[in-house]
């Protein structure tokens, strides 16, 4: 794979380094030896994830699994983000629609994609009053307690060791001035102690995951955030396991970025927890929207325990608040002014090389899984030309010996003698303009082995 691990800053080719170094005028000439010395200063990153990584943070997005079959969606996701949250696929109604019957297929696809790209994962969410299946609402207190702990345990064990932070409890406080807990089956039947119990159960189920409390309208200091603050302070004082607080940060003109946003993040951090911006979206457009995004990113950068930012979707067209165009990419995946503001705030370089690593052969390949059934899955390989046009390409896909590729489309395959290595070339004219992409697909019969196919390098003609 040519894709760098998403957590490491990109390593541009020496040519890209030289080009930028020349452009930045940081080349010194050692005249006596006739040697050109490049400045050792860090290269500006060109994506959200890579620039956040250079600040010691992640930059993530909510992902909708049913959009992964759209190649522009997946290309933008894979290129820009180094952390992912399932937008709906890991909520209680999705994972345990009937009591004791867990459905992990779709969430597994999310995990496979994110981990296949080297992304960090936020788990969202274990205990929440919303998107809760009907059966939970009809339980008595004893059954509800058992069901809550069982849900936390089963889900966390499924992804044990693979989740960086889990939203253990989401939105348990009321809006407004009361500072009270929000009515829910958990609150009504189990009382305030349900939150503590959920965190203790979660710690036992996956000790490696950071455990977060997550909420909205807690972004500035107000009655609701004060109530959460008091709970976190109490948890820390009594040794209840909590590691992080998530601030959803859904903003619009009625609910703008509060002026004490940074100060509020800092007071939570001072309790000894990490703080994370977990569902950022800001309705608006143009410069005003860009300025609000910049304010949020700068606030996080100024709080050392603010270790990452997640925006709530890749593109405006699939946002849960699409009419407010609240995200960083428009419906055609163009970068908005807000994108540039975020990238610059993170120390990145706008307008950078769109292909960070064209590879020696002048093209690069990336893999993603687009569909999965009980016995097989579909894979897709995206071929991208480097900085020059190419007239043809060749790449290989290797499957494990148990697996069989049963069908292919949009390419001409040949096979090695083992039948495990498929060499793919374009169907007919394989011309691609500089930076342009094409893709081919195939179905893999798993035969019990669900490992991801391995890609060889890409060679261009």
Q: How far is the CB of 279 from ligand XIL (least distance, A)?
A: 6
The site map against ligand XIL for 272-291 (x = CB under 6 A) is -------x------------
- Would you list the DSSP string of 2-41? -PPPTTSPP---HHHHHHHHHHHT--EEETTTTEEE---S
Catalytic residue among 10, 80, 96, 171: 171
Nearest C-alpha neighbor of 441 from the set 418, 414, 407 = 407
Q: How far is the CB of 131 from ligand XIL (least distance, A)?
A: 6
Residue nearest to ligand XIL (CB): 320
Residue 318 interacts with ligand XIL (CB under 6 A): yes or no: no
Residue 320 interacts with ligand XIL (CB under 6 A): yes or no: yes
Q: Which helix (H) or strand (E) holds 247?
A: strand 244-247
Nearer Cβ to ligand XIL (128/268): 128
Nearer Cβ to ligand XIL (246/362): 246
Size of the site for ligand XIL (CB under 6 A): 6
Catalytic residue among 43, 54, 80, 279: 279
Residue 437 interacts with ligand XIL (CB under 6 A): yes or no: no
Give the ranges where 209-334 is alpha helix by DSSP (H): 223-238, 261-269, 286-301
Cβ-count burial of 139 within 10 angstroms (0-12 exposed, 13-18 middle, 19+ buried)? middle
Nearer Cβ to ligand XIL (78/248): 248
Q: Which helix (H) or strand (E) holds 170?
A: strand 165-170
Rounded Cα distance between 123 and 165, Å, is 6
> 408 — phi, psi (to 5°)?
-135, 160
Q: How far is the CB of 156 from ligand XIL (least distance, A)?
A: 18
Eight-class DSSP state of 221: S
Residue 170 interacts with ligand XIL (CB under 6 A): yes or no: yes
The site map against ligand XIL for 84-123 (x = CB under 6 A) is ---xx-----------------------------------
Q: How far is the CB of 59 from ligand XIL (least distance, A)?
A: 18
Instruction: Provide the 10 A C-beta neighbour count for residue 349.
Output: 16
Give the ranges where 284-437 is alpha helix by DSSP (H): 286-301, 337-345
Sheet with strand 376-385: strands edge to edge: 363-372, 376-385, 437-445, 404-409
Nearer Cβ to ligand XIL (274/279): 279
Nearer Cβ to ligand XIL (70/344): 70
User: Is residue 179 within 8 Å of 173, Cβ to Cβ?
Assistant: yes
Residue 80 interacts with ligand XIL (CB under 6 A): yes or no: no
Q: What distance separates the 2 farthest-apart alpha carbons in the chain?
A: 85
Of 2, 158, 248, 292, the residue at the interface with ligand XIL (CB under 6 A) is 248
Nearer Cβ to ligand XIL (63/345): 63
Nearer Cβ to ligand XIL (87/120): 87
Structure tokens at 263: 């100060």
Q: How far is the CB of 117 from ligand XIL (least distance, A)?
A: 21
Structure tokens at 127: 């205990």
Q: How far is the CB of 213 from ligand XIL (least distance, A)?
A: 12
Rounded Cα distance between 333 and 327, Å, is 10
User: Is residue 425 within 8 Å of 412, Cβ to Cβ?
Assistant: yes
User: Is residue 244 within 8 Å of 165, Cβ to Cβ?
Assistant: yes
Rounded Cα distance between 70 and 49, Å, is 21
Q: How far is the CB of 281 from ligand XIL (least distance, A)?
A: 9
Nearer Cβ to ligand XIL (93/344): 93
283 is catalytic: no
Nearer Cβ to ligand XIL (279/353): 279
Q: How far is the CB of 439 from ligand XIL (least distance, A)?
A: 27
Sites for ligand XIL among residues 381-410 (CB under 6 A): none
Nearest C-alpha neighbor of 17 from the set 3, 34, 36 = 36
Query: Residue 417: CB partners within 8 Å, gap ≥ 6?
Result: none
Separation in Å, CA 318 to CA 57, 214, 313, 397, 415: 25, 23, 7, 32, 39
Q: How far is the CB of 359 from ligand XIL (least distance, A)?
A: 36
171 is catalytic: yes
| Site residues for ligand XIL per CB under 6 A | 87-88, 170, 248, 279, 320
Residues assigned a catalytic role:
171, 279
């Amino acid at each position: 794979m040519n894709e760098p691990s998403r957590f490491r800053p990109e390593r541009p080719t020496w040519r890209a380094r030289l080009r930028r170094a020349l452009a930045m005028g940081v080349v010194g000439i050692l005249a006596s030896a006739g040697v050109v010395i490049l400045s050792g200063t860090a290269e500006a990153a060109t994506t959200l994830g890579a620039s956040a990584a250079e600040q010691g943070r992640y930059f993530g997005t909510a992902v909708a699994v049913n959009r992964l079959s759209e190649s522009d969606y997946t290309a933008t996701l894979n290129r820009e983000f180094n952390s992912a949250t399932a937008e709906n696929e890991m909520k209680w109604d999705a994972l345990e629609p009937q009591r004791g019957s867990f459905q992990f297929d779709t969430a597994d696809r999310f995990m496979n994609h994110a981990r296949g790209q080297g992304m960090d994962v936020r788990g969202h969410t274990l205990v929440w009053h919303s998107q809760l299946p009907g059966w939970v609402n009809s339980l008595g207190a004893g059954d509800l307690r058992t069901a809550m702990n069982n849900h936390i345990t089963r889900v966390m064990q499924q992804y044990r060791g693979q989740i960086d932070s889990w939203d253990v409890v989401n939105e348990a406080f009321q809006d407004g001035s009361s500072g009270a807990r929000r009515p829910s089956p958990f609150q009504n039947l189990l009382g305030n102690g349900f939150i503590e119990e959920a965190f203790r159960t979660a710690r036992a189920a996956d000790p490696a995951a950071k455990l977060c409390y997550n909420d909205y309208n807690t972004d500035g200091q107000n009655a609701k955030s004060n109530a959460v603050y008091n709970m976190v302070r109490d948890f820390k004082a009594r040794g209840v396991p909590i590691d992080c607080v998530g601030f959803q940060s859904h903003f619009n003109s009625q609910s703008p970025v509060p002026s004490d946003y940074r100060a509020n993040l800092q007071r939570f951090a001072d309790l000894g927890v990490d703080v994370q911006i977990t569902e950022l979206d800001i309705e608006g457009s143009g410069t005003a929207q860009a300025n609000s995004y910049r304010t949020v990113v700068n606030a996080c950068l100024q709080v050392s325990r603010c270790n990452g930012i997640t925006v709530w979707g890749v593109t405006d067209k699939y946002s849960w608040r699409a009419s407010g165009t609240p995200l960083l990419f428009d419906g055609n995946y163009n970068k908005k002014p807000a994108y540039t503001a975020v990238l610059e705030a993170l120390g990145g370089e706008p307008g950078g090389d769109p292909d960070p690593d064209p590879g020696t052969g002048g093209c690069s390949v990336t893999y993603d899984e687009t569909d999965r059934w009980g016995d097989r899955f579909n894979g897709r390989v995206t071929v991208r030309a480097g900085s020059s046009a190419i007239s043809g390409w060749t790449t290989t896909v290797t499957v494990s010996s148990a697996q069989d590729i049963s069908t292919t489309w949009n390419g001409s395959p040949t096979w090695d003698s083992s039948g495990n290595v498929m060499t793919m070339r374009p169907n007919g004219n394989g011309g691609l303009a500089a930076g342009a992409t094409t893709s081919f697909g195939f179905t893999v019969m798993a035969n019990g082995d669900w490992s991801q196919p391995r890609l060889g390098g890409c060679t261009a003609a």
